[in-house]
Structure 1
């Protein structure tokens, strides 16, 4: 009796579970890195990095719902308010500290970023860009606070209290003496720039064009040399 050998099943594409900014964040993290994911939500990104990048580290989450989701995934996560700092962690304890679409929800963004740079060798920050053309147009036409897929809440119950643009964030990095290693305006070229060539082209976008076309931006940062 002959046995027919079935072709091996392709490995599942777990990146399909991630937001586009999380896909880019995952691509920036080196294998085996020590990571701290701040405001990790349901733990989707942290889970991906542990399983697919052999990352070691923790998540920090303030919401009960997010904590329960992370625990259900079996993730190392603890309850914490990052606006109060990261005093539980020593200087340079992590290779990467990640703040994924959480910057706009913190009360003390400068302090949080400073703490991230203290405990992490590099930090990765993603945020919705309030300078995107669609937001500008909606505000101009309707005269009301715009809602988008990235910013779906009403103005009176939104968790987003610190909206900024790509240009605003670049200015903040300059004021804080932070070195921008890489900045990636997402969807400016029809989706996440996964290929090296596409990412190089995105880097060449003028600052004002990136600020206009990208609904979301990802920044890879480190302490300045000065």
Structure 2
């Protein structure tokens, strides 16, 4: 089973937000490290979803419940309110229909948790000022081979949630695994946003 030390910093922060004994859907779960840790340490009941066959095999080898599916088509396999938390980590920037997946997350779950690279990070701005597309720790690809098709800032994401009738419950902005409290949209390279339907 995965331990706390094997989780990426963003996954550690996600794990900290999820209470014990809850129902969790992990979208784009990759090799299932987060779900494995949550099941081992917080007794969650979880299901992973990923499109990659190798990721599915890795999850099955960990004893996880996992489904192979393309998130772009929505979450029709799941009934309304099936989960307490729905997680989408470092995947949303590579999706075509972001509005659909956010709506689907709150259809099947009570709370959504999303992480994404913050394009407003000062190093990204500096590289654009120098005439180059940014390449960084959280955006490690060149412009010609990146799977990322949508870049946004912390502020952009909050505005989209508002447009969709959703609200930010909690926002954590990180750089190299450490929380950024001062000017997070400028000094943070990775954002974690917990959101729910607007009241």
Above 0.5 in TM-score?
yes
State the match for 1:192 in structure 2: 178
Structure 1 residue runs without a partner (length 5+):
1-11, 194-200
Residues 45-99 of structure 1: CA deviation (Å, up to 9, x unaligned): 1111111110102000011222222122221111001110111111111000000
Alignment pair present for 1:210 and 2:184: yes
Q: How many aligned positions are there? A: 199
Structure 1 moving runs of 4+ over 6 Å: none
- Secondary structure of 1:36 counterpart: strand
Match of 1:159 among 138, 147, 164: 147
Residue 147 of structure 1 corresponds to which residue in structure 2? Answer: 135
Q: Which runs of 5+ in 2 are unaligned?
A: none
> Which residue of the partner structure matches residue 95 of structure 2?
106
1:21–1:192 Cα contact (<8 Å) kept: no
Any conservation in 2 of the 1:24–1:192 contact (CA below 8 Å)?
A: no
Contact 1:129/1:165 (8 A) holds in 2: yes
**Which stretch of structure 1 is more off in the superposition, 113-122 or 14-23?**
14-23
Native 8 Å contact 1:132 1:214 kept in 2: yes
TM-score by length of 1: 0.84
Instruction: Pick the structure with more strand per residue.
Output: 2
Q: Tell me how large the CA RMSD over aligned residues is.
A: 1.7
Instruction: Look up the match of 1:9.
Output: none
Q: Quick check: 1:22 aligned with 2:11?
A: yes
Counterpart Cα distance in 1 of 2:43 and 2:2: 16
Q: Contact 2:10–2:177 at 8 Å: present in 1 too?
A: no
TM-score, structure 2 normalization: 0.94
Partner SS, residue 34 of structure 2: helix
Contact 2:117 2:138 in 1 (8 A): yes
Q: Distance in 2 between matches of 1:155 and 1:72?
A: 35
